[in-house]
Structure 1
Amino acid sequence: MTEAKRPIRWHIAVFLAPAVLIYTAIMILPLFGTLQLALFRSVDQAQTFVGLDNFRTLFGDPRWSAGFWNALKNNTWFFIVHMLVQNPIGVVLAALLASPKLRFSAFYRTAIFVPTILSFVIVGFAWKLILSPLWGVAPNLLDLIGLKSLFTPWLGKEAYALTTLALISVWQFVGIPMMLIYAALLTIPDEVIEAAECDGVTGMSQFWKIKLPLILPSIGIISILTFVGNFNAFDLIYSAQGALAGPNYSTDILGTFLYRAFFGFQLQIGDPNMGATIATMMFLIILVGVCIYLFGIQTRLRRYQF
């Protein structure tokens, strides 16, 4: 007897085609266009293939390398603040909100998550007004509790501006890791919790020994999303400090550095080829970070999954 032929699942291609076409049009083609643009340079108003010369200029020419390494350093610190402040706070808030003894937990979840839906422009200008030493409310609030002497124009000082903006970003987006961890805590089977309680593991000990290992995969996903989001950051810095990312480029990150290089700003003339080179470096940095997570960390976290 001859084996029956398997039916061709043509419907899979039909359902996937719209998403694939849209993703290709708005993501894949612009990506390859950027990579191609990074390998060319405008010579006599014509695009000439120069290979990796633009990358040599980016790393070897002091006019470009100083700005690039400054932006990369600031971007790294911006990411570290989110990892050390935002994600731990998100885990703590999720653990508190997941407690069945907490009343009005739905209200708290909504209140903490609301800032994530606000526009970057609104958040940037609002906090710039709040922290203003002239008409901001921060000096008056500190004065009410007797701490006005601690106030300083944080957004106007090189030593504090970037950290201040990072904490503002933490305030805005802490609701995302909170909700993801909260959802992960809800998926833990009741049988596991009941077994832990029968063994006398309750309270904080139960969270550290039972719940935390089970939600490590979710924490890993949140970490890599934080990494990608922060190395693509631009909006908050631009809305609060402008394209020059002042004071004295102390808040300049790769996104604002790319913006000035590609489009130009004030006396700086835009160079699309160098802008594409910087964008390519941003893509490679994110790609390396994601690969390290996927092949080095995620495989170790799978052991905690059911």
Structure 2
Amino acid sequence: MAQRKAFRWHIAVFLAPAVLVYTAIMILPLFSTLNLALWTRTGSETVFAGLKNFATLFGDPRWSEAFWNALGNNMWFFLIHMLVQNPIGILLAALLSAPRLRFSAFYRTAIFIPTILSFVVVGFIWKLILSPLWGIAPDMLDAVGLKSLFAPWLGKEEYALTTLALISVWQFVGIPMMLIYAALLSIPDEVIEAAEMDGVTGWSQFRRIKLPLILPSIGIISVLTFVGNFNAFDLIYVSQGALAGPNFSTDILGTFLYRTFFGFQLQLGDPHMGATIATAMFGIILVGVCIYLFAIQTRMRRYQF
């Protein structure tokens, strides 16, 4: 008779603290939010509403217009990061991984430093820089003969969201850069040497050899960008306030959730509708991550060593 394998109690002991902390700060609040979204307040009573709050959010013009506006702004905010931040991060990583580049450590540090700055600091500094009254942006453009291009970018509806997205790109481009840099360094020297022996060097080597090998890392960066941007709130709130002006042109799901849940100025807080918006955000992020995991990541595994 085969002897049963003893249960390894030490594994459970070591995992228990992390599981308890994760449950306390992630799992319980998540289910509490989902539960809160299924109730509504009628007068002085709280009654079960089922999916009525979601029908109100998606179908009632008073709510749906603001929701779809915030969702559209969030998508644009995300696309700018995907199309600007991540390609620049990959390019910088490729340049900084060149073995003959001098002062590469200094460049990496200088590019990464903004990522550790507070959103409050970044938002305040850029508001000062771009201010048409006392900012330095008009003088800097004037110094190169481009002052005619200056506009109050944070004060115009058509420019404000794109400007804030580019500020966010400036702050966080160091993260994809460092992740791709680490992925490039993990490529075995034998692969690079074999490519060089075949005469594949420079940009051709990166495109034909290195890029396919780092596609899984690029996929991870893409899903992190998606999750991070659909959870964004701080920079918009610091720069444009809870109303996400001008005229809600920079309103995203995070600021919409904040105004709804806590209330702002003449708008009274509604925790149940706020929880409904938070649940919708969770669903959007969950769907996006699942698409990545099951439709994209599985196709990238053939590039892994």
Q: What's the counterpart of residue 16 of structure 2? A: 17
CA offset digits 1:126-168 (Å, max 9, x no partner): 1001000000000000011111010000000000000000000
Letter in 2 for 1:7: A
Pairing 1:228–2:227 present: yes
Q: What's the counterpart of residue 105 of structure 2? A: 106
Q: Please report how far the alpha carbon of residue 60 of structure 1 lies from its aligned counterpart in structure 2 after TM superposition.
A: 1.3
Q: What's the counterpart of residue 185 of structure 2? A: 186
Give secondary structure in 2 for the equivalent of 1:101. coil
Q: What's the counterpart of residue 288 of structure 2? A: 289
In structure 1, runs of 5+ residues without a counterpart are none
Give secondary structure in 2 for the equivalent of 1:88. helix
Q: What's the counterpart of residue 29 of structure 1? A: 28
CA offset digits 1:57-86 (Å, max 9, x no partner): 111111100000000000000000000000
Q: Partners in 1 of 2:303 and 2:285 — Cα distance?
A: 26
Letter in 1 for 2:195: A
Q: Partners in 2 of 1:114 and 1:55 — Cα distance?
A: 41
Letter in 1 for 2:163: T
Q: What's the counterpart of residue 133 of structure 1? A: 132
Letter in 1 for 2:222: S
Q: Partners in 1 of 2:208 and 2:26 — Cα distance?
A: 42
Q: Partners in 1 of 2:159 and 2:46 — Cα distance?
A: 42
What pairs with 1:125-164 in structure 2 (closer than 5 Å)? 125-164=124-163
What pairs with 1:263-274 in structure 2 (closer than 5 Å)? 263-274=262-273
Q: Partners in 2 of 1:45 and 1:80 — Cα distance?
A: 43
In structure 2, runs of 5+ residues without a counterpart are none
Q: What's the counterpart of residue 247 of structure 1? A: 246
Q: Please report how far the alpha carbon of residue 117 of structure 1 lies from its aligned counterpart in structure 2 after TM superposition.
A: 0.1
CA offset digits 1:164-183 (Å, max 9, x no partner): 00000000000000000000
Pairing 1:64–2:63 present: yes
Q: Partners in 1 of 2:229 and 2:3 — Cα distance?
A: 53
Q: Partners in 2 of 1:4 and 1:48 — Cα distance?
A: 56
Runs of 4+ aligned structure 1 residues displaced above 6 Å come to none
Q: Please report how far the alpha carbon of residue 187 of structure 1 lies from its aligned counterpart in structure 2 after TM superposition.
A: 0.2
Q: Partners in 1 of 2:240 and 2:64 — Cα distance?
A: 22
Q: What's the counterpart of residue 86 of structure 1? A: 85
Q: Partners in 2 of 1:184 and 1:80 — Cα distance?
A: 23
Give secondary structure in 1 for the equivalent of 2:232. coil
Q: Please report how far the alpha carbon of residue 219 of structure 1 lies from its aligned counterpart in structure 2 after TM superposition.
A: 0.1
TM-score, normalised by the number of residues in structure 2 = 0.99
Q: Please report how far the alpha carbon of residue 253 of structure 1 lies from its aligned counterpart in structure 2 after TM superposition.
A: 0.1
Q: Partners in 1 of 2:249 and 2:49 — Cα distance?
A: 32
Q: Partners in 2 of 1:79 and 1:3 — Cα distance?
A: 56
Q: Partners in 1 of 2:80 and 2:100 — Cα distance?
A: 31
Q: Partners in 1 of 2:58 and 2:212 — Cα distance?
A: 42
Q: Please report how far the alpha carbon of residue 44 of structure 1 lies from its aligned counterpart in structure 2 after TM superposition.
A: 2.3
Q: Partners in 2 of 1:231 and 1:281 — Cα distance?
A: 11
Letter in 2 for 1:36: N
Q: Please report how far the alpha carbon of residue 5 of structure 1 lies from its aligned counterpart in structure 2 after TM superposition.
A: 2.8
Identity %: 81
Q: Partners in 2 of 1:3 and 1:54 — Cα distance?
A: 57
Give secondary structure in 2 for the equivalent of 1:282. helix
CA offset digits 1:183-208 (Å, max 9, x no partner): 00000000000000111100100000
Q: Partners in 2 of 1:208 and 1:258 — Cα distance?
A: 42
Q: Partners in 1 of 2:242 and 2:33 — Cα distance?
A: 21
Q: What's the counterpart of residue 201 of structure 1? A: 200
Letter in 1 for 2:199: G
- Give the stretch that moved more between structures: 115-124 or 45-54: 45-54
Q: What's the counterpart of residue 114 of structure 2? A: 115
Q: What's the counterpart of residue 275 of structure 1? A: 274
Letter in 2 for 1:150: L
Q: What's the counterpart of residue 39 of structure 1? A: 38
